[in-house]
């Protein structure tokens, strides 16, 4: 009997960067549930091994690749892993997930070293990894690329202007590239997370208990996001159910951008969550 579930990803090879924990792990697990074969990339070898084993325990295929995508040398490891899966330099699905909001602080007090670090972890690797695997997708006339940006790419962020600029760059790169490669059957989309509870950014630990009952008032959907919220959307965008969707950047924020923004507490302190400052 023919499988009419267009959301299935059976036998497709997907590479997810920053996949050992948080949103990256949520993406990997969602793709696995839909039948994809996985190449999971991370710099944390122990956490990566644990995530790979967890996915395999669920009866799915996964291989871990320890690499730092901020470094050019990581490309050799990624292409070798893809080739071992019989895909040479090609993939069916690429998820550029790696990112980090650090360091925070007034722009006037930042340094070129800070800017370079933010560039490397939030945008440069998106260009590098995409450039590596895009030619194979073009050659096969098929592929889906999903970039993970941030809601901060849509709005002004106090004390994080450079980070927000690079997240906006991811969004615009997504749109621009999609117009180039759609003719080859390659789709490029992005998701933009906000207020997601992860090991990298444990929101509940940052918010004073006395404010926990306000979360439902601040986030329209009444709760913080989970890695699965993002993973399920990525799996959909990677599938044939989204075959007419490209160039899109979808906010996964529980409605926060639609309902709120940043608020100044004093000359140096801002907040977009109800929490005390240390």
Report, as an integer, the average pLDDT of 244-262. 91
Residue 274: per-residue pLDDT: 63
Residue 16's DSSP bridge partners are: 40, 95
The answer to whether 142 touches 240, Cβ cutoff 8 Å, is no
Report, as an integer, the average pLDDT of 204-222. 81
> In this structure, is residue 33 part of a structural domain?
yes
User: Is residue 106 predicted with pLDDT exceeding 80?
Assistant: yes
163 labelled catalytic: yes
The whole-chain average pLDDT of the chain stands at: 92
0.75 exceeded by pTM: yes
Residue 28: per-residue pLDDT: 98
Q: Give the CATH number for residue 235.
A: 3.40.50.720
User: Is residue 2 predicted with pLDDT exceeding 60?
Assistant: no
> In this structure, is residue 150 part of a structural domain?
yes
The answer to whether 93 touches 87, Cβ cutoff 8 Å, is no
pLDDT band at residue 87 under the 50/70/90 scheme: low
What letter does residue 62 receive in the DSSP assignment? E
What letter does residue 242 receive in the DSSP assignment? G
> In this structure, is residue 229 part of a structural domain?
yes
Residue 62: per-residue pLDDT: 98
Domain range for 105 = 13-201+224-263
**Residue among 133, 163, 218, 236 flagged as catalytic:** 163
> In this structure, is residue 4 part of a structural domain?
no
> In this structure, is residue 50 part of a structural domain?
yes
Range of weakest confidence among 60-64, 188-192, 214-218, 257-261: 214-218
> In this structure, is residue 171 part of a structural domain?
yes
Count the neighbouring beta carbons within 10 Å of the beta carbon of residue 43. Answer: 17
Q: Which of the two residues, 144 and 269, has the higher pLDDT score?
A: 144
DSSP H helices in the chain: 22-33, 45-57, 74-84, 112-119, 125-140, 161-181, 203-206, 215-218, 227-238, 256-259
User: Is residue 17 predicted with pLDDT exceeding 90?
Assistant: yes
Residue 1: per-residue pLDDT: 37
> In this structure, is residue 6 part of a structural domain?
no
Report, as an integer, the average pLDDT of 242-271. 86
> In this structure, is residue 271 part of a structural domain?
no
User: Is residue 278 predicted with pLDDT exceeding 50?
Assistant: no
User: Is residue 210 predicted with pLDDT exceeding 90?
Assistant: no
User: Is residue 51 predicted with pLDDT exceeding 70?
Assistant: yes
User: Is residue 263 predicted with pLDDT exceeding 70?
Assistant: no
How many domains is the chain partitioned into structurally? Answer: 1
User: Is residue 90 predicted with pLDDT exceeding 90?
Assistant: no
């Amino acid at each position: 009997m023919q499988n009419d579930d267009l959301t299935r990803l059976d036998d497709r090879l997907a590479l997810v960067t920053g996949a050992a924990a948080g949103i990256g792990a949520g993406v990997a697990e969602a793709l696995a549930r839909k039948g994809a074969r996985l190449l999971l990339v991370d710099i944390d070898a122990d956490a990566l091994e644990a995530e790979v084993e967890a996915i395999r325990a669920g009866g799915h295929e996964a291989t871990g690749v320890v690499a730092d995508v901020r470094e050019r040398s990581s490309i050799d490891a990624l292409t070798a892993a893809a080739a071992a899966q019989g895909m040479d330099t090609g993939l069916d699905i690429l998820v550029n997930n790696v990112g980090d909001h650090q360091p925070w602080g007034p722009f006037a007090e930042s340094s070129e070293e800070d800017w370079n670090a933010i560039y490397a972890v939030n945008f440069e690797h998106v260009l590098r990894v995409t450039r590596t695997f895009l030619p194979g997708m073009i050659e096969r006339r098929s592929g889906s690329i999903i970039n993970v940006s941030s809601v901060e790419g849509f709005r002004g962020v106090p004390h994080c202007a450079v980070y927000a600029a690079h997240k906006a760059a991811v969004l615009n790169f997504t749109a621009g590239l999609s117009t180039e490669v759609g003719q080859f059957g390659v789709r490029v989309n992005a998701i933009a997370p906000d207020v997601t509870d992860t090991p990298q950014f444990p929101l509940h630990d940052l918010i004073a208990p006395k404010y926990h009952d306000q979360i439902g008032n601040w986030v329209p959907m009444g709760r913080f996001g989970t890695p699965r919220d993002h993973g399920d959307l990525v799996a959909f965008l990677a599938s044939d159910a989204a075959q007419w969707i490209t160039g899109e950047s979808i906010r996964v924020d529980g409605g926060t951008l639609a309902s709120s923004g940043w608020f100044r507490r004093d000359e140096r302190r801002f907040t977009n969550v109800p929490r005390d400052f240390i």
